[in-house]
Chains A and B, each alone.
Chain A
Amino acid sequence: MIVVESLTKLYGTTTAVDAVSMVVERNSITVIVGTSGSGKSTLLRMINRLIEPTSGRVLIDGRDTGSEPGYQLRRRIGYVIQGHGLFPHRSVAENIGTVPRLLGWEEDRIRARTAQLLTALQLDPGAYADKYPHQLSGGQQQRVGVARALAAEPALLLMDEPFGALDPIIREKAQDDLLDIQRKFGTTIVLVTHDIDEAFRLGDRVAVMSEGRLLQYDRPEVLVTRPANPLVARMTGSAERAMRLLSLTTAGEAALPWTGSDGAADGPVVPTSASLREVLSELLWRGSECATVVDADGKPHGRLTVAAILARGRPA
C-alpha cells in the first residue's frame, strides 16, 4: 500500500503539485490523468524521489521513502517512461539485467529472469536477447522497457506515459498486455497519462489532476456518474458518459441467465470479456435484439438484450 501525504512541490513561486494526498491499494492499477502542466508527472517522480518533494511524504508499506538514499529506493521500484529510454549501447538482455546487476544478483539468476520476462512479453529470448534496441520495432522496444522495469521483481511499477510514442493499434495491444502482466505478477502500478480513454481502460482507480491539485480520485464509474466538479465532468466527457459507463462493464458481468437459445438464435455471439459498448455496437450493426454471451471455451454463459444494455448506461 502506498500512502501519499499532502505531497507538495514548489518551483520558486509556482506550485507544481499542491498538497496531494491519496492511497494506492496493493495489486491495483491507479491511473493519474490530467492535461500537460497538471503536475501528474511531478507527482509520479516524487514517489520514487527523482524529484524531491518540497513538503509532505510518501509511505510504501508503512515505510517513509525518505529514510534511505534515493538510488536505493529506485532500485526497488520499476520505472517506465515515454520513448522507453533503453540504453542504445547495450543489448536487450543487458538492458533488462540493469537493476539486477546493480543489486548484485548472480548471472544465472539474471539470465533466467531475463528469459522469463521476455517470454511473458511475447518476445522469444533466443531471437531477441542479443539484439540491440535500434533493431526492434517501437512496440518491441516498449515491451523491453517494461521487462527492464520488472526485472528485479519490484512490488511497485511507475509508468510515465508509457504508450505515448506508440501508434493507436499497437497501443491497444500494449494496454492489453499490461493488464495481463499486472494479473500475472500482481504488481502494483501507478500510471500517468493525458489520455482519458487509456485511464478508463486501465485504471482500477483514476486520479484526475489539474493545476497541481487532485480533483477527484475514485473508481472510473464513480467519475462518470458522480463527478466531483464541472472540470472532472468535462474531462470524462459529459456527452459520452453513457457510452463510457457501458465500456466499463463486461458482457460477462452484465449477462442475463442462459435460458436456452430462444430469441438469441440469429443474434451475434460475443465473448464474456467484451465490453457492453462493443456488444451494443454489434447489435446495432446487425439489427438484432439479443446477443449470446459465451465463455472462453465457447460454452453459452448467458444472453444480453438491447434493453438490458441500455439499462446499464445510466447511473444506478
Chain B
Amino acid sequence: MTTLGFLLRRPTSAQDTPALARIDRLGALLTLVGAVGLFLLPFVTFKANRIVPGDPRGLAQVLPAWVALGCQATLAVVAAVALFGANAPLRLVAALAGIVATAAALAVAANALTPPHDLIVRVAPGAGFWLLLAALGLLATDAITRMRPGPGVRVLLLVLFLGVAGFALAHGTFDNVSVMREYAVNAAAFAVAARQHILLSLGSLGAAVIVALPLGIFCHRVPRARPGVLSALNIIQTVPSIALFGILMAPLGELAAHVPLAAAVGIRGIGAAPAVVALFLYSLLPIVANTVAGLKRVSPATVEAALGMGMTRWQTLTGVELVLALPVILTGIRIVLVQNIGLVTVAALIGGGGFGTFVFGGIGQAAVDLVLLGALPTVVLAYSAAVLLDALVELLDRVPQ
C-alpha cells in the first residue's frame, strides 16, 4: 500500500475508531463538490436559440418531480457509499450508477424543456452537471485504482464504457442536448474531422518513431552525441505550438512554390503539412529520451553475455536490448500520442483539420456547444489512447530488471 493510498483509505478496525474518523476523506471531498454542483449551480442552461445567453435552471426545476426525487435519492446513496463504503467494487458500482443517473437526468431535462419538433431551442449541460460528472468520474477512477485491476480488465472497462456511451448516443438518448444538436448539423464534417484528427496524430507519431528510435539508439551508443541531440530537441519542445505552426508556414510555403514535386504531394504553407511537421518535431524528444533511458536500464552484464555467446551486434540490439527497453520506449510513445491528440486541435488554426475545426469555429461564433463538439471527442480519444498504451506497457513489463 502506498503512502497516498494509506491516507485515502479509512482505518479498517471499526470498533475502536470514532465515527468521524471512519469517513473516507476523498469521499467527503467529492461529496462536497457533488453537493455544490447539485444544489448551488445550474444543472442545465436553457437558450431560446444557439447564440443568446442562457437561462440557468436547477435540477428540481427542470425535471418531473418523481424523476428529480429519484435522481437525488440515487445520488444520496452514492454519497453514502463514497463516505462510508470501504469495498472498492461497491464504490465503483455506486459511481457508475451516479453517472448513469446524472446522464439520464440530463437527457430527461433536455426532452422536457424542448417543445416537440423544435430545432431552435438549446438545452446545454450547466456547470452543476459538469461538476457532478467530474466528482463521480473521480470517484469511479479512485475505485478502479483501489481495485488494482490488471491491464486486460482496464481495457475491458474502457470498451464497456465506450460501448454504453456509444449505444446511448446512437439510440438518440441525448438528441435534444445542445452538443448533439450541433452534431446533427455537422455530422458529415464530424466524420471528416475525426478521420483527420486520428490520421494527423498517428501519422506524425509514426514518422517520429521511424526517426527517433534510431536517433535514440545512436545517442545510447555514442554518449558524446547525447547532450547535443537532447538539448536541440529540448529547445524545439519549448517553442509554443502556435508559434511552431506559424514558423513552419513560411519555409513550407517556399518549398511548395519552388519545388513542383513538393506541391504535388500536398505540401503547402498551410494545411496538414506544417501540422504534421510540427507534431513530428514535438514527438522526437519523448521518444529519443525514453529510448536512451530504456537502453540504459538494460544490464551491461546481459549485453556482454549476449555478445560473448556469439550474438551479432544486430541480434543483440533487436533480440535483447530493444526487447528489454520496450516498456520504457512505449511509455515515451504513449506520452507522444496523448500529447499529439491534444496538439492536433491547435493545428486547426493553420488549416490542418481535426476536431480543432469545431473548437475554433465555436469560439469564433461564440457557440459553446460547437466548442464542446470538438473538445469532448478529443478528450475521449486522448483518454482511450492513454488507457490502451498503459495496458500495453504493463503487459510487456512483467519481467523485473
Contacts and interface: CB of A to CB of B under 8 A. Distances in A.
A125 interface: no
Interface string A240-263: 000000000000000000000000
B319 to A, nearest CB: 9
A87 B311 CA distance: 13
A134 interface: yes
A121 to B, nearest CB: 17
B399 A132 contact: yes
Contact of A99 (B302, B310, B323, B399): B310
A83 interface: yes
Interface string B319-359: 01001100000000000000000000000000000000000
A75 B399 CA distance: 27
Given A81-B304, A81-B305, A82-B301, A88 B401 contact: yes
A85 B400 contact: no
Interface in A51-78: 71-76
Interface string B289-320: 00000000001011011111111100100001
A15 interface: no
B399 A74 contact: no
Interface string B364-401: 00000000000000000000000000000000000111
By size class, the interface of chain A is 20 to 34
B272 to A, nearest CB: 39
A87 B321 CA distance: 10
A73 B310 CA distance: 7
A72 B309 CA distance: 9
Nearest to A98: B309
Interface string A140-169: 000001001100000000100000000000
A145 to B, nearest CB: 8
Interface in B226-259: none
Contacts of B309: 74-75, 79, 98-99, 102, 148-149
A293 interface: no
Given A83-B301, A84-B301, A134-B399, A89 B324 contact: yes
B399 A89 contact: yes
Given A88-B324, A88-B400, A81 B301 contact: yes
B302 A85 contact: yes
Nearest to A99: B309
A74 B324 CA distance: 23
A134 B400 CA distance: 7
A170 interface: no
Interface residues of B, number: 19
A110 to B, nearest CB: 14
Interface string A44-55: 000010100000
B320 A87 contact: yes
B327 to A, nearest CB: 10
B273 to A, nearest CB: 40
A50 B310 CA distance: 9
Contacts of B400: 88, 134
B312 A71 contact: yes
B399 A50 contact: no
B308 A79 contact: yes
Contact of A86 (B302, B308, B312, B315): B302
Nearest to B300: A85
B310 A102 contact: yes
A144 to B, nearest CB: 11
Contacts of B305: 79, 81, 84-87, 145
Interface string A212-251: 0000000000000000000000000000000000000000
A75 B311 CA distance: 8
Given A84-B301, A85-B301, A134-B400, A71 B324 contact: no
A102 B307 CA distance: 12
A149 B306 CA distance: 11
A76 B308 CA distance: 10
B294 to A, nearest CB: 13
A288 B167 CA distance: 93
Given A74-B309, A98-B309, A88 B301 contact: no
- The residue in B305, B307, B315, B324 that gathers the most chain A C-beta atoms within 10 A of its C-beta is B305
5 contacts: A71-B307, A71-B311, A85-B305, A88-B401, A149-B309
Interface of B: 299, 301-302, 304-312, 315, 320, 323-324, 399-401
Given A79-B309, A98-B309, A102-B310, 18 more contacts: A48-B308, A71-B312, A72-B310, A74-B310, A76-B310, A81-B301, A85-B299, A85-B308, A86-B305, A87-B302, A88-B302, A88-B401, A99-B310, A102-B309, A102-B311, A132-B399, A145-B305, A149-B309
Question: Top 7 closest A-B pairs, CB basis?
Answer: A85-B305, A75-B310, A79-B308, A74-B310, A85-B301, A83-B301, A89-B399
